[in-house]
Chains A and B, each alone.
Chain A
């Protein structure tokens, strides 16, 4: 049972445009959500997070939106840069679970010139 879903395996966006990566979850106990970025042959690196008490969190070019009623979150990257080309994983956690993360299957973003 996939509790965190990323339904788009890949996304291609032109440099300078907006990239929107989507994530859906089924477990209503999740109260903290994260996005990780992964380059080939490297470990995932933390990008941005959001608590369930918020609906938006912004950090530079990266913004995460949370819609709790729809159990949906999205990552917006504006403007997209070639260095953003990577696999992006959505992850979720519940309070009191030793910070364990449940990951989605990832979306490969390619930013073209």
Chain B
């Protein structure tokens, strides 16, 4: 039981490049979330999903897109990366309880 996993762990992008971050969970959770963490800002919700095929915007959705084609996977896409998207990205999931389980994070640098 791996819990929540994230791929990749680290990535460096040039401005304007695109990439997709993958989150996978093996706990059969319905709800999944993407957060970003910046120094002094805590964790901020980017997008979330309450079930397969559904997505919704969080607090800071601009510049990101998401997809939930399979229940166990939640993808976060950056179509045209900007230096302001340099951050640590965390994925989380829950089966309906408020307590969320987090992945180990992806550290993204945009130059």
The range of chain A's interface size is 20 to 34
The total of chain B residues at the interface (CB under 8 A) is 27
Query: Secondary structure at chain B's binding surface: helix, strand, loop or mixed?
Result: strand
A47–B100 alpha-carbon span in the complex (Å): 11
A103 and B44 within 8 A (CB)? yes
Residues from chain B with Cβ under 8 Å of A43 in the complex: 4, 90, 92, 102-105
B94 and A99 within 8 A (CB)? yes
With beta carbons under 8 angstroms apart, the residue of A34, A98, A99, A103 that contacts B42 is A103
Mask, B84-100, CB within 8 Å of A = 1, is 00000010101011111
B98 and A32 within 8 A (CB)? yes
A46 and B100 within 8 A (CB)? yes
B98 and A41 within 8 A (CB)? no
B48 and A106 within 8 A (CB)? no
B41 at the interface (CB under 8 A from A): yes
Chain B's closest residue to A91 (CB) is B43
Mask, B35-65, CB within 8 Å of A = 1, is 1000011111100101000001010000000
B74 at the interface (CB under 8 A from A): no
B6 → chain A, closest Cβ, in Å? 8
Task: List residues of chain A with CB under 8 Å of any chain B CB.
Answer: 4, 6, 9, 32, 34, 36, 41-46, 49, 89, 91, 93, 98-106
